[in-house]
Structure formats: C-alpha cells, structure tokens
C-alpha cells in the first residue's frame, strides 16, 4: 500500500478557503519567527500563489488589507530579500514573488546568529567568573555547550547539504 497522500479534488470555493486558512496559519507561524502578522501573511500568500508572482492589488484583495499595510509589508520583505519583484515588458506593474535564494540565505544568516549568541554568552560567562553565582554560571556553561554542539552539527549539515545540492546542479 502506498504511503503517498491521496489528492482530494476540491471545489474552487474549497480551494480558496483552504488557501485562506493556510495563509492565516502560516502568518501565525512566521509571526513567531519575528515577522509581523501582515509580513507573514503576505509571505505566505506569495508562497501559495499560482502563478508564483502576484501584483500589489491581487495581494491586497486576497488579504483584505489597506494599501499602507501591504506596501509596508512588501517593502520590508523586499529589503530582507525574502521576496523580490519582477516586471514584464509593456506592463507597468510590479509583480512580487518569493525570493527562494534570499530566503535560503536568510535561514543561513539565522544559523550564524546562533554562533554569535554563543560568543556573546562566553563573554558574559568570562565577565561573571569573579562573581559569586556558581549555579547560574554552570547553567551558562550548559547553554554554551549546547550552542557549540548545535553549531558543529549545523556546520556539518550545511556542508553536506551544499555538496548534495551541487551534485544535483551538475
């Protein structure tokens, strides 16, 4: 028996409802990663869109949000290189889409942040070495150890992933 999920044919109304639900759920998820709810909803909408590029008004219409809110979200996401815009000859509109390369780079940057946090915590521990709080300092050492191990694993993972990715390209 196949472990693949069976595709259920949805009506157009059901597809729209499913997309709305997914945009809201993904918006909440992306909010937990530091984006505002609107940033998350715009990003989620673009992830789910077909075609993969959408103009300003399509985004605004689907999300039922103000021009200002959409404009602010698009500027922020473009600045962070999570989305980009494209244009077509003879069409004055800008079309927005997820920048998959930029998104991948952002994820790698967040991993580097973890390494910076470890360095920062090591400096804190060094500063605290003369203070009388051995139990607290032990907990900081535990956090540093966690960061060291996770960073080593992540570096190895990224190297292996890049090698596999390169082989696919060749």
- The pair phi, psi for residue 86, each rounded to 5°, is -130, 160
Short-list 93, 146, 100, 91, CA closest to 122: 146
Per-residue pLDDT of 112-146, as tens digits, reads 887 888 889 999 999 998 888 899 999 999 999 99
Instruction: Return the pLDDT at 2.
Output: 47
- Domains observed in the chain: 12-98 (1.10.10.10), 102-169 (1.10.287)
Per-residue pLDDT of 85-109, as tens digits, reads 999 999 999 999 999 999 999 888 8
The yes-or-no verdict on residue 1 having pLDDT over 60 is no
Per-residue pLDDT of 2-30, as tens digits, reads 445 667 888 989 999 999 999 999 989 98
């Amino acid at each position: 028996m196949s472990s693949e999920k069976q595709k259920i044919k949805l009506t157009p109304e059901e597809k729209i409802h499913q997309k709305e639900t997914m945009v809201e759920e993904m918006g909440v998820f992306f909010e937990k990663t530091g984006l505002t709810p609107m940033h998350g909803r715009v990003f989620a909408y673009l992830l789910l869109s077909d075609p993969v590029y959408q103009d300003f008004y399509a985004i605004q219409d689907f999300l039922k949000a103000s021009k200002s809110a959409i404009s602010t979200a698009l500027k922020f996401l473009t600045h962070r290189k999570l989305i980009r815009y494209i244009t077509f000859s003879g069409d004055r509109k800008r079309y927005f889409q997820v920048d998959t390369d930029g998104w991948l780079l952002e994820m790698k940057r967040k991993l580097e942040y973890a390494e910076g946090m470890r360095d920062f915590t090591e400096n804190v521990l060094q500063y605290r070495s003369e203070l009388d709080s051995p139990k607290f300092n032990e907990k900081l050492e535990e956090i540093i150890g966690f960061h060291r191990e996770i960073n080593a694993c992540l570096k190895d993972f990224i190297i292996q992933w890049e090698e596999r990715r390169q082989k696919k390209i060749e």
